Structure 1
Amino acid sequence: MPLSDSASGALRAATAMTVLGCSTSATAALADYPLHGAQTLRYLLAAAVLLPLARRTGPLRPALGRAELTRLALLAATGLFAFNVLMVQALRHSDPAAVGSVIGCTPLLLAVLGPLLARRRPQARLLVAAAVVVAGAAVTQGAGPGDLPGFLYALGTLACEAAFSLLAVGLLPRLGPVRVSAYTTALAVPMFGLTGLLLDGGRMFRMPTSGEGAGLLYLSLVLTVLAFLLWYGALGRLGPERAGLFAGLVPVTAALSGAVLGSAALRPAELLGSVLVGLGVCVGLAVVKAPERARPAQAVPAGR
């Protein structure tokens, strides 16, 4: 029996955020690799997989307008390039728990901005559900030491995380998840590559160790290719307000994966936070109807 749009969207969103939460070990493995070089390799490999997938669903250039090209460039610049750079800067000034607590506000931000950008009033019950998710994420993540620059960098990372979803909403009905993912990853390659050449020169690349190579493969193939496709597929089915609730799963799955891998013990606060996140997600999915899915403007497959 086929899943409904809501159930399919929920499954995609939950899987995408689980993959993201489990990426902490892969990211840690690349701590000593030059940032811009690692991200260039990551998105280059992801684009090499996504562009052929997009080609299989039809022409790679379905008459992209100037507005679409601009939105794609902004999406790559904020959701991919600036997000990763600001995240690294935030972690240099603050504890990961403090940074995670700020970024954990993503569900609440999407619950407010999603309806406003669609010229709708945010629904009070969805805001309550998002607040419960944020509280659960905060309990799971905890609070750590930091300074004002770290907090400001974390706020910038939060804005970029929201842009990753909000800028894609208007592109998905016509381009579909595959093309949006392929185009943005391809655009991110020169952004990181040129910046790396300017800042690091020939030091931006070196032969990765076995652990770094495994981390790059996870970040490029599992996180960037698989999770991007799942997340953008979920956005088209749930809308940013409801899909955003699943961002609360990131600190939960990060904590659970650490416990499974034996790198960190599971604390009672993390179990409580998991319960709160699950409660908020269930409430949010129950009280809000799914948005009507726009039909493509022309016969371009949605890439599902």
Structure 2
Amino acid sequence: MTGDGTGDGRRDRRRAAAGAATAMFCVGTLTAVSPALHDYPVYGGQALRYAAGALPLFLVMRARRLPHLRLNAREITLIVLLAAVGLAAFNIFVIESTRYADPATVGTIVATVPIILALAGPLMDRRRPTPHIVVAAAVVAAGAAVATGLGHATLLGVLLALGALACEVGFSLLAVPLLPRLGAIRVSAYATAAAVPLLAVAGLASDGRAAIRPPTLGEAAAMGYLALVVTAFAFFCWYDALPRLGPERAGLFSGFLPIGAIVSSVLLGTGHPGVPDLLGAALVIGGLLLGLRPRRAPLAAVQAARTPPTREPAGRPDGRARPGRT
């Protein structure tokens, strides 16, 4: 994260904050669009979504003349894990958890991701978590939970939702080592493409040859939106912001997930925000303001900066000149 205090540094942070908020807001609209795909085979539909999402990312790479870098064994492993955990397994856990728990319960559990990132991010860098960011993450998670609602669940539903939470954390932490060399576009494109065969295999195991069929016009429109906006655009925005903010601060923007769901449901006429929705949104914004406030330098450091440095006198204490070197 850029922290030089210059105008460029502040602009960089504002860009990163806007990107992270945009990414999570777009992902939040998933819940309003997904009902259009209820009749389409789940895993085959996800495979098509990621295949269609990878295409514009590779086209952007070509337009920007970004060469395909030769990946080492560690990078290949991380890309496969990112696709398997952060994309394919996340979808599987979310889908299966809703069979044994209310979507509200699943959303509430996944909404605790800012707390996990606020703790795990610093620990990966071998430093202590920042107390005010941990508190801010708890406020954001509480706001997301209030906006989503609590619902009810069986023990299996809770365990599956916890699996989705772990995958959501992996979506960020597994990408952190890749971003400095590969950049946001390559990581987004490679991970999205790698998820396609994983979900295709899951679809064949679940639905056989019926895993993929020609979509209807409404299903095609929904898939197109998920591919272009929720996948290609949102993934790039998130991975562009992640190294600039760091996982602990970027995680705070996960609170925009329920806000995106609320706004999109209103625009599509599928829902109307109530008091819990507005209260949850207010808590999310309050948590963000707390977590993103500039850190104050310690008082001792400020006083030291204000104190002019003392210069050693040119002569010796007895007033005589210092002897020169021989």
TM-score (normalised: structure 2): 0.85
Matched, 1:113 2:120: yes
Residue 147 of structure 1 is matched in structure 2 by 154
**Equivalent position to 2:163, from 152, 156, 159:** 156
- Check the 8 A contact 1:68/1:171 in 2, yes or no: yes
Residue 24 of structure 1 is matched in structure 2 by 31
Matched, 1:219 2:222: no
Seen in structure 2, the aligned counterparts of structure 1 residues 88 and 194 have a Cα distance that, compared at 3 Å, is: same
Residue 8 of structure 1 is matched in structure 2 by 15
Residue 292 of structure 1 is matched in structure 2 by none
Runs of 5+ consecutive residues of structure 1 not aligned to the other structure? 290-304
TM-score (normalised: structure 1): 0.91
Seen in structure 2, the aligned counterparts of structure 1 residues 288 and 188 have a Cα distance that, compared at 3 Å, is: farther
In structure 1, C-alpha distance between the alignment counterparts of 2:215 and 2:267, rounded to whole Å? 26
In structure 2, C-alpha distance between the alignment counterparts of 1:251 and 1:59, rounded to whole Å? 35
RMSD: 1.6
Q: Partner of 2:293: helix, strand, or coil? A: helix
Give the superposition deviation at 1:59: 5.4
- Check the 8 A contact 2:112/2:141 in 1, yes or no: yes
In structure 1, C-alpha distance between the alignment counterparts of 2:280 and 2:295, rounded to whole Å? 23
Matched, 1:259 2:266: yes
Give the superposition deviation at 1:114: 0.7
Matched, 1:91 2:91: no
Q: Choose 1 or 2 for highest CA Rg.
A: 2
Runs of 5+ consecutive residues of structure 2 not aligned to the other structure? 1-6, 297-326
Deviates more, 1:250-259 or 1:3-12: 250-259
Seen in structure 2, the aligned counterparts of structure 1 residues 187 and 288 have a Cα distance that, compared at 3 Å, is: farther
Q: Which residues of 2 match residues 39-58 of structure 1 at below 5 A?
A: 39-58=46-65
Matched, 1:279 2:308: no
Q: Partner of 1:200: helix, strand, or coil? A: helix
In structure 2, C-alpha distance between the alignment counterparts of 1:116 and 1:8, rounded to whole Å? 26
- Check the 8 A contact 2:16/2:245 in 1, yes or no: yes
Letter of the structure 1 residue corresponding to residue 226 of structure 2: L
Give the superposition deviation at 1:160: 0.3
Deviates more, 1:216-225 or 1:190-199: 190-199
Give the superposition deviation at 1:86: 0.6
**Equivalent position to 2:137, from 121, 126, 130:** 130
Q: Which residues of 2 match residues 142-221 of structure 1 at below 5 A?
A: 142-221=149-228
- Check the 8 A contact 2:32/2:264 in 1, yes or no: no
Give the superposition deviation at 1:257: 2.3
Give the superposition deviation at 1:171: 0.6
In structure 2, C-alpha distance between the alignment counterparts of 1:171 and 1:6, rounded to whole Å? 20
In structure 2, C-alpha distance between the alignment counterparts of 1:59 and 1:22, rounded to whole Å? 30
- Check the 8 A contact 1:26/1:214 in 2, yes or no: no
Letter of the structure 2 residue corresponding to residue 100 of structure 1: G
Residue 72 of structure 1 is matched in structure 2 by 79
In structure 1, C-alpha distance between the alignment counterparts of 2:192 and 2:112, rounded to whole Å? 25
In structure 1, C-alpha distance between the alignment counterparts of 2:210 and 2:132, rounded to whole Å? 51
1:159-212: per-residue Cα shift (whole Å, max 9, x none)?
Answer: 000100001011111100100001001111111112322332210111212221
- Check the 8 A contact 1:21/1:249 in 2, yes or no: yes
Runs (4+) of structure 1 exceeding 3 A deviation are 55-61
Give the superposition deviation at 1:64: 1.2
**Equivalent position to 2:45, from 38, 41, 48:** 38
Deviates more, 1:90-99 or 1:248-257: 248-257
Give the superposition deviation at 1:226: 0.3
Residue 293 of structure 1 is matched in structure 2 by none
Q: Work out the number of aligned pairs and report it.
A: 289
In structure 2, C-alpha distance between the alignment counterparts of 1:162 and 1:23, rounded to whole Å? 18
Residue 298 of structure 1 is matched in structure 2 by none
In structure 2, C-alpha distance between the alignment counterparts of 1:112 and 1:182, rounded to whole Å? 28
Give the superposition deviation at 1:63: 2.5
Deviates more, 1:269-278 or 1:21-30: 21-30
Seen in structure 2, the aligned counterparts of structure 1 residues 288 and 239 have a Cα distance that, compared at 3 Å, is: farther
In structure 1, C-alpha distance between the alignment counterparts of 2:55 and 2:144, rounded to whole Å? 34
In structure 2, C-alpha distance between the alignment counterparts of 1:58 and 1:214, rounded to whole Å? 30
In structure 2, C-alpha distance between the alignment counterparts of 1:288 and 1:71, rounded to whole Å? 33
In structure 1, C-alpha distance between the alignment counterparts of 2:287 and 2:171, rounded to whole Å? 22
In structure 1, C-alpha distance between the alignment counterparts of 2:282 and 2:73, rounded to whole Å? 45
Give the superposition deviation at 1:58: 4.4
Letter of the structure 1 residue corresponding to residue 211 of structure 2: M
